[in-house]
């Protein structure tokens, strides 16, 4: 298939280098603005609170997907364990909320587990600034350490993918085993207020929706800037020829570690936003399966474009909601079939198909 593309492109090679027309250059910002209006104006007006809450959840997942798009689509690192970073962010936020609930006392689940004194690990999370900072810093540090260790040893491809997946599995076991510290299988739940706002109120949830949408928009613009920068070009070069990059004088391990850490930070922030939006963080939400589901979503949307990653996360999670309401058992099979279809027939995902249609039309 690639040879067809090459020969097609080769036939137009002698043409003088065409500068993109103003129309083509304005298209990206135009689409972004349209989506922003849709998300910030139309959706809150037309969607009932329950549906808006669901959309907020999809957009939270889209933030994780954005990080996967960066690490996997641009950098070639198949990250199968983003749930770990999502979880670190989620638990940081959850711990803060539980401590506010407890008002100086012990969180409810600790009392039930027979814990008598607040663990030292928990104490600083009573401070909202610390908790929010840790939601991003902890994933970034863990990813940076792991990346520095692993990429320097030139572990890559499937080995790296399996390693991240194993990490997700181990993290779940750790969380479940530490009942008194983490709430075990149940995780952290029963949150009632955030910064003095009642989480059960529609207006609070609506506000949270706006926060999530704006954060996603800003992160998207930042990630786009990164992709278009020299660093972004270097990242693509590392993806396509890591060994060759060394002979350009760059250390690919550094490039990959930085990117992996950024994607982990995004997942962490998403985790922190997820907790007040959905009202729970538990091991079932961040293990191997949820991590894989997001990778599948990114593949379906189109991993080589950041917009594809975001689109995939929203579309697949919406589909999951619809199918869970109708025929829940079929969703798993449908998801698997969709993944196989996309990987074999349209490796560039929905975005790739849309672009191809546009090229065929224009």
What is the contact surface with another protein in residues (CB under 8 A)?
A: 6, 9-10, 12-13, 16-19, 225-226, 228-231, 233-234, 236-237, 240-241, 243-244, 246-251, 254-255, 258
Provide the minimum distance between the beta carbon of 342 and another protein in the complex, in angstroms, as a whole number: 20
**28-60 CB burial, b ≥16 within 10 A, e <16:** eeeeeeebeeebeeebeeeeeeeebbbbbbbbb
Is 152 or 206 the residue whose CB approaches another protein more closely? 152
Is 304 or 323 the residue whose CB approaches another protein more closely? 304
- Distance (Å, rounded) from C-alpha 292 to C-alpha 287? 9
Provide the minimum distance between the beta carbon of 259 and another protein in the complex, in angstroms, as a whole number: 11
Residue 243's alpha-carbon distances to 155, 160, 219, 310, in angstroms, are 13, 16, 30, 30
Provide the minimum distance between the beta carbon of 239 and another protein in the complex, in angstroms, as a whole number: 8
Is 236 or 280 the residue whose CB approaches another protein more closely? 236
- Distance (Å, rounded) from C-alpha 276 to C-alpha 215? 15
Provide the minimum distance between the beta carbon of 19 and another protein in the complex, in angstroms, as a whole number: 8
> Is there a contact between 299 and 353 (Cβ–Cβ < 8 Å)?
no
Provide the minimum distance between the beta carbon of 142 and another protein in the complex, in angstroms, as a whole number: 21
Provide the minimum distance between the beta carbon of 67 and another protein in the complex, in angstroms, as a whole number: 17
- Distance (Å, rounded) from C-alpha 167 to C-alpha 170? 5
Is 12 or 45 the residue whose CB approaches another protein more closely? 12
Is 228 or 324 the residue whose CB approaches another protein more closely? 228
Is 244 or 358 the residue whose CB approaches another protein more closely? 244
Q: Which of 11, 31, 13 is nearest to 23 (CA)?
A: 31
Is 227 or 285 the residue whose CB approaches another protein more closely? 227
CA angle, corner 289, sides to 285 and 291, nearest 5? Answer: 75
- Distance (Å, rounded) from C-alpha 244 to C-alpha 238? 8
**If 0-12 CB within 10 Å is exposed, 13-18 middle and 19+ buried, where does residue 276 land?**
buried
Is 19 or 23 the residue whose CB approaches another protein more closely? 19
Provide the minimum distance between the beta carbon of 155 and another protein in the complex, in angstroms, as a whole number: 16
Compute CA 191 distance to the chain's CA centroid, rounded to the nearest angstrom: 23
Residues linked to residue 188 through DSSP beta bridges, in sequence order: 281
Provide the minimum distance between the beta carbon of 235 and another protein in the complex, in angstroms, as a whole number: 10
Three-class DSSP category at 189: strand
């Amino acid at each position: 298939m690639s040879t067809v593309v090459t020969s097609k492109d080769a036939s137009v090679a002698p043409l003088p280098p065409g500068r993109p027309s103003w129309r083509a250059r304005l298209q990206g910002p135009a689409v972004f603005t349209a989506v922003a209006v849709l998300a910030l104006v139309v959706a809150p007006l037309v969607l009932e609170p329950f549906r808006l809450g669901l959309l907020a959840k999809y957009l939270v997942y889209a933030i994780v997907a954005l990080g996967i798009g960066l690490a996997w689509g641009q950098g070639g690192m198949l990250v199968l364990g983003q749930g770990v970073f999502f979880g670190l962010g989620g638990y940081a936020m959850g711990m803060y909320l539980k401590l506010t609930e407890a008002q100086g006392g012990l969180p409810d689940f600790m009392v039930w587990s027979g814990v008598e004194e607040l663990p030292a690990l928990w104490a600083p999370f009573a401070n909202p600034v610390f908790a929010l900072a840790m939601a991003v810093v902890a994933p970034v540090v863990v990813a940076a350490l792991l990346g520095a260790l692993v990429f320097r040893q030139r572990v890559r491809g499937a080995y790296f993918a399996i390693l991240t997946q194993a990490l997700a599995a181990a993290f779940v076991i750790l969380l479940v085993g530490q009942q008194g510290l983490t709430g075990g299988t149940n995780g952290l739940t029963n949150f009632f207020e955030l910064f003095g706002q009642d989480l059960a109120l529609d207006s609070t949830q609506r506000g949270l929706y706006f926060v999530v949408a704006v954060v996603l928009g800003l992160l998207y613009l930042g990630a786009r800037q990164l992709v278009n920068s020299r660093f972004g070009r270097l990242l693509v070069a590392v993806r396509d020829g890591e060994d060759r990059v060394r002979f350009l004088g760059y250390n690919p391990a550094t490039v990959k570690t930085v990117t992996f850490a950024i994607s982990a930070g995004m997942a962490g922030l998403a985790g922190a936003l997820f907790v007040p939006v959905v009202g729970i963080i538990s091991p079932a939400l961040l293990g191997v399966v949820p991590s894989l589901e997001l990778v599948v979503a990114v593949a379906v949307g189109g991993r080589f474009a950041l917009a594809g990653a975001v689109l995939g996360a929203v579309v697949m999670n919406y589909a999951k909601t619809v199918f869970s309401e109708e025929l829940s058992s079929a969703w798993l099979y449908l998801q698997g079939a969709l993944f196989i279809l996309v990987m074999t027939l349209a490796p560039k995902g929905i975005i790739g198909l849309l672009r191809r249609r546009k090229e065929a039309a224009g």
